[in-house]
Structure formats: structure tokens, C-alpha cells
A and B are shown apart, each in its own frame.
Chain A
Amino acid sequence: MNTLTEIDRLLVDTALRLCADHGSREALEAAEAAGWSEQLWNALVESGLTRVGISEAEGGSGGTAAQAAELVRISGYAAAPVPLAESLLVGGPILAAAGISPPDGPLAVAPETGRLTVARRDGCWTVSGRIAAVPWARMAELMVALASGETGPVVVAVPLADAGIVPGRNYAGEPRDTVTVSGVVVAAPTPAADAGVDATTWRLRGALARSLQIAGALERVLELTVRHAKEREQFGRPIARFQAVGHMIALLGEAVAQARMAAETAAAGARPDDAAIAKIIAGEAATKGAALAHQVHGAMGTTRECDLQWFTRRLWSWRDEFGSETEWARALGAELGRGGAGRLWEVVTATPEEQR
């Protein structure tokens, strides 16, 4: 885990290059107006990067979950306006586990569970219900959801051509749409247990994806802030030379270090606690880090002209998606309250591979 292999480096370099090719200010503004960058998405599909971490047998391009996680972190670093996180870490692996091969097009993932109901009628399965703030619904063919089945929770792939979609967006203009379905016919649903998910792990997958994106975006925010502090002069010297500014940068560095460590730890193992912890830490770091970076940037940072905004608008959105710090802290806290001091130290010190 410490060192990138050749393959990792190739993947990372390819992803960074593609994001940079489609990452000019004009391209990002156009993507925001359109809701996404279809060109970037197609380029990622062509390079096989939208299916990393899913085996070839299951319709993916092979590679490891760790590589998929690294790509998601990079998509945050690049503020890439594409649904890579949902495809690589949430919808794609769940579909694959449910025996459904993921489509080429972007996948939408229902962030809330249990909002849809699956019923069997005249030998067909149908699904009905309404879910708000579904990422990327308007450009996706399929939405993966954890629905209520007749005998328990089930994974369904809902064709969105037959759904009612009301557009919505987050601060960064990323589509967060409301999806309504009523009696839409779906393929036979998979019992949640067979796909290895439940209501909590479903949201934790999304939480981990957002944590990695936050870690990546914060790293970029630190780079932009250091660069600005060295270039901007006041009182006859670069503002980086003022101790107060240096200390803000140190605190920003601390936010970056914590978010990345928490997200990478969660990505490396399979401990649900670690995914909740990643979202708590990343959420706190997003808030602190964005505030510090803006303070160092002065008035320029409050404008649309300054590149900082591509990242801070995302940070402010992502911290609330798939569960805020508070939601996950309460869940973890309740578990610790039941488990007591022994459980506490175990959570603090466990190596990621150690299962409870």
C-alpha cells in the first residue's frame, strides 16, 4: 500500500492527463452548464477507467479496489465533472455483486435506501417511489437502488428512461435530481444479502467515495493556497512570509493530512467503522480547509474567476452527501456506547484488514 506499482502509476497518470485535457476553465464552465463533461466521460470510458476494480468476468476492466479508490481521489483533485465515484465505488461494484454487468454510460445511485418499493405484478417486477438528490440521474441510463422488496431489501437497477426526473443541483452545479418512478418494469431484483449490502453499508460506500473525493480536492486546495501565498505580495513581501498566514497554511496541511489518511485507511480495508470515520474526518476537514483557503486568498477567492471555487464549492457539497459528519458520528457513537472501552481501543488501533 505504501508504494504505487507501475500499473497504479499508469492509471493515475492517465486519469490526471485526461482530466487536465478536459479541465480548462472554459471546459469546466461548459460542463457545469451542461451538468457534466460528456467528453471527459467518454475519454475515461475509452481508457477503461470507469470500470477499474471490477473483474473482467463481471464486465469490468479488472484491477483492484485500491486502484479504483485512487482514481476517485484523483477525480476530486481534478474537480472532474463526471460520475466516476458513483461508478467505481458505489453503483458499479454493487451491480457486479448482484450479477448485473455495469453499462457504459454513467450510473446513478440512489443515496437514500428504502424509498422505492418493488412488487411483482403479472409475472413482471415493477418499482415505484420517489428519491431526492440522486447524483447524475438526468444523464444516467440506470439508477441502482436499495429498495423494499416483498421479503426484505433488494438491489434493483431502474431504467431511468421511464422515470420522472426533476433536475436539482449541488453548490458545484453537479446534478442532484429528484427521481419518481411508478410501476416501472425492472429486471428481477437481487436480495440485498446476495449483493453483500445492507442499508448501512450502502450509504457507507457512498460516504467512502465522497471522503476520497474530499481528500483529493483538499490536496488541490492546499496547492492553490500555497501558490497564492507565495505570489501575492502585500507590505512589500509575499504574504506567505507573515507568520499568521504560515500558520493558516499549517492548519490547512493538517486538514489535508487527516482527510487523506482517514479516506485511504477506509479504502484499504473493509472495516465499516473506518468508512464512517473517513466521512466524519473528511467532512470536518472540508469545512476547516475551505475556510482557511478562502481566508488566505482574500477577495479574489470569493470570485468565480479564481480556481479555488471549483474545489471549495465541491467540498461544501460533498461533506453533506451520503451522510454528514453528525450522522456518522452519532452512529459510531451509539455503537461505542454499547461496546464500551474495549471496543473503543479496538476501533482506534485495528489494522484495516482486521475484521471484528
Chain B
Amino acid sequence: MRFPPTTLTLPERRLRDDVRGFLAAELAGRDIVGSDMSGGRDPEFSRRLAAKGWVGMSIPAEYGGRGGTAVERFVVVAELLSAGAPVAAHWVGDRQTAPTILAFGTEEQKRRFLPLIARAECTFCIGMSEPDSGSDLASVRTAGVRDDGGWRVSGTKVWTSGAHQQDYALTLVRTSPSGQDRHAGLSQFLIDLRGPGITISPIISLDGTHHFNEVVFDDVFVPDELVLGDVGGGWHQVTSELAYERSGPDRWLSTYGLFRSFLDAYGEHASDSVRDALGRITARYRTLHNLSLSVARMIDGGSAPVAEAALVKDLGTTFEKEVAETVRSLAGVAPDPDAADRFSRELAAATLMLPGLTIRGGTTEILRSVAARELIR
């Protein structure tokens, strides 16, 4: 396993500086707490970002994008998340639905969805997990039954982030019984969440917010034109979709806002132990930035660094939690979600979301197994 060091080219640096300038103007005066991709949602912001060409960047020009690279997206996303920009509306479409449609969709689906994603006018969520299917995703029971010109879908998805706000769910469905090969017989459907037969109920998170949902499909009709890729090819598609979910800046920046507030509040007259923590944590950020960038460059080079991405995601997500716990123990404030003090508020918000960081998108244990398999090969 090798992570070739790489650096940004001049045009990539220019892009970074442009995004920085745009965000400084956009976010001036906003009171931003946190820096997580599932934090703020502001469709208007997403559309202005899209107007700059910074949503769905990798979509080719013929489908309304700019034919950008994984590294360009890396640069934009790192700036967005570090600044705490409200990215939730376009996030999933940009990160994983667009590349999945591009790789597996029909010409008609590409023409229909990709331009909308690039304008941030159509939003997506991820319909993978179910009450009895978490890490063992191939065990999903939501079932599709063949009907005239399409499929009838019934079943329950859970933890569906943003289903109550987004337009479509890219949903993993069993379309033929699981036989010898558990990975066969799965398909991906693009399901319009506003259609009939769908009940979306909130599941409330630790911090009291409504972030994810239970989505119940009751005999929902999905026309053939919304079947993504091959019927029965869902496993291959969903595992490559998961690779897009891993190793990006979203996997190491979730508590960056908290760290920045810590630096603002405690940096100036820092004790030895605070300086030690500032130095060690910054060193880790720098190194994760470069590892994550290296994976993006490998993707642009045409390789599929699945195990590398899993390794970086494990490193990044365990680090995000360590950051919060380290600054907490050094600061010694009693965090209050409603405090006037910014650091206290950030700490309260971060602490309650920490447990999910090493669960979503593949747990620590699953990631380590993926990385180990490659290392032991």
C-alpha cells in the first residue's frame, strides 16, 4: 500500500484561493457552529456555489458540469468544510450520486439528472441501511417485485440522512432472492421521495436534532427508467459508491471548527500542554490532508484505491474524535449547547455527534478489516 505524495498544481492552487475568497464573502457575518458535512443546509447557498461551477465538478461538460478532477473536488470540499459552509443540500449528490450515475446510468438518466445536480437543483440521500442491515449491507430485505414497465418496492430503510428534505433516495433493493451468492440479485433504484406510498418519519439524534429518518416504502412504483445500472448489478455499484464516500476531507474535518475555536480561545497564552496538543493535532491534520489528497490523485490516475481510502477514513474518523476529547480535557469548561461562549457551544455540539463519526459510511471495524485484507494479501 503506497500513498504517493503529491502537491497542488498552480491552477489547483488558484482554484483553492478562488473558493477561499468566495467563502469569505458568502459566510461573513454568519454564526457558524461546527464544520460537518451533515451540518447546515442552505439550498440557496448550494445554488450559488453551483453557479461558480463548484458542485458536481466531475460531471463532464456535455452533462452540465466542468469535467473536473477528484483533486479539484478535494480542494473545493476542504475549503467548504473547514469554513463550516452549509453544504448538506448538495452534499450526497455531489459526492456520490453524480459519479455513480455517470459510471452506471443510462444516457437518458445522465441527461436528466447530471445537469440538475451540477446546478444543485436536485438533491439526494442514501437509502442503504435497514433495521436489520447495517455493516452486513448485502442482507437488505427491501424488495422489488416486477410490474408493468417497472418495479413495486416495499420495505424499510433507516438512518436515511436528510430524507425529509432531499428529492431522491438512491435505494438498494433486493430484486431477486438471495441464493448461493448473497451479492447477486441486488439493484439500485432512484426513488422520488415525494411520490405515493412513502412514509418518512424522523429519528431524533442525541443532540435533539432531526437529521436522519426511517423511510417506509409501501408498494411504491419505480418505473424502469429510474433503475440505475443493471438489474442485479447493485452490489458492484454500491461498493464503488462507498469508495466515493471514503477518504475525503469530510472524514477528518468534522471537528475542525471546534479545534479552531479552541485555538482562538486558548492559543495565545497557551500552557505547555495546550501548545503540545496544538502542535500534535495540527501535525495530524496536515498529514491527513496529504494522505487524502494522495488518494484523490490516485483516483484521477485511474486506479481504484479502495483499501487505501478505507485506511484513510479510519485514521481520519478516529482522529476527529480524539481532537474533540483532547481539547475538552484541556479546556475544562462545562459545555452548554446554548452558551454565549463560542467554544462551549462548539464543544457541546461536537460531543453529541462524536459517536456517529466512526459508524457512518462504514464502521471502524469494517474499515480495518478492508485495510488488513489488502495489507496481508
Chain A positions near chain B (C-beta within 8 angstroms): 1-3, 222, 226, 229-230, 240, 243, 246-247, 249-251, 253-254, 257-258, 260-262, 264-265, 268, 273-274, 276-277, 280-281, 284, 325-326, 328-334, 336-338, 340-341, 344-345, 347-349, 351-354
Contacts and interface: CB of A to CB of B under 8 A. Distances in A.
Given A333-B277, A337-B267, A348-B289, A257 B376 contact: no
Interface residues of B, number: 51
Nearest to A262: B287
Contacts of A336: 263, 267, 278-279, 282
B291 interface: yes
A187 B184 CA distance: 78
B5 A333 contact: no
Contacts, number: 163
A229 B373 CA distance: 12
Nearest to B9: A351
Nearest to A326: B276
B372 interface: yes
3 closest residue pairs by CB, A with B? A329-B279, A333-B275, A333-B278
B282 A277 contact: yes
Interface in B198-218: none
Nearest to B310: A250
Given A333-B270, A341-B260, A341-B263, A281 B8 contact: no
B369 A247 contact: yes
B373 A344 contact: no
Contact of B311 (A254, A262, A276, A353): A254
Contacts of A260: 3
A250 B372 contact: yes
Interface in B1-49: 1, 3-8, 13, 16
A277 B373 CA distance: 30
B272 A222 contact: no
Interface in B285-316: 285-287, 289-291, 294, 297, 311-312, 314-315
Interface string B332-376: 000000000000000000000000000000000101110111011
A345 B82 contact: yes
18 contacts: A1-B7, A2-B4, A2-B5, A246-B368, A250-B371, A257-B1, A257-B291, A258-B287, A265-B286, A277-B287, A326-B276, A330-B272, A330-B276, A333-B276, A333-B280, A336-B263, A352-B7, A354-B13
A254 B259 CA distance: 23
A198 B334 CA distance: 43
Contacts of A277: 282-283, 286-287
Contacts of B371: 250, 253-254
Interface in B222-277: 259-260, 263-264, 267-270, 272, 274-277
Contacts of B270: 333-334, 337
Interface of B: 1, 3-8, 13, 16, 78, 82, 259-260, 263-264, 267-270, 272, 274-280, 282-287, 289-291, 294, 297, 311-312, 314-315, 365, 367-369, 371-373, 375-376
Nearest to B291: A261
B72 to A, nearest CB: 14
B286 A337 contact: no
Contacts of B8: 351
A323 to B, nearest CB: 11
A354 to B, nearest CB: 8
B368 A264 contact: no
B263 A243 contact: no
A1 B3 CA distance: 12
Given A226-B376, A253-B1, A332-B282, 19 more contacts: A1-B6, A230-B376, A247-B365, A250-B368, A254-B315, A258-B287, A262-B286, A262-B287, A268-B5, A274-B286, A329-B275, A330-B276, A331-B275, A332-B279, A340-B263, A340-B264, A341-B264, A347-B286, A349-B289
A247 B372 contact: yes
B289 to A, nearest CB: 5
Contacts of B259: 344
Given A257-B3, A261-B5, A351-B13, A226 B375 contact: yes
A249 B376 contact: yes
B286 A348 contact: yes
Contacts of A281: 283-284, 287
Contacts of A333: 270, 274-280, 282
Contacts of B311: 250, 253-254, 257
Given A1-B6, A344-B263, A347-B286, A246 B280 contact: no
Contacts of A274: 286
Contacts of B290: 261-262, 265
A249 B287 contact: no
Contact of B16 (A1, A246, A331, A349): A349
Contact of B263 (A276, A280, A337): A337
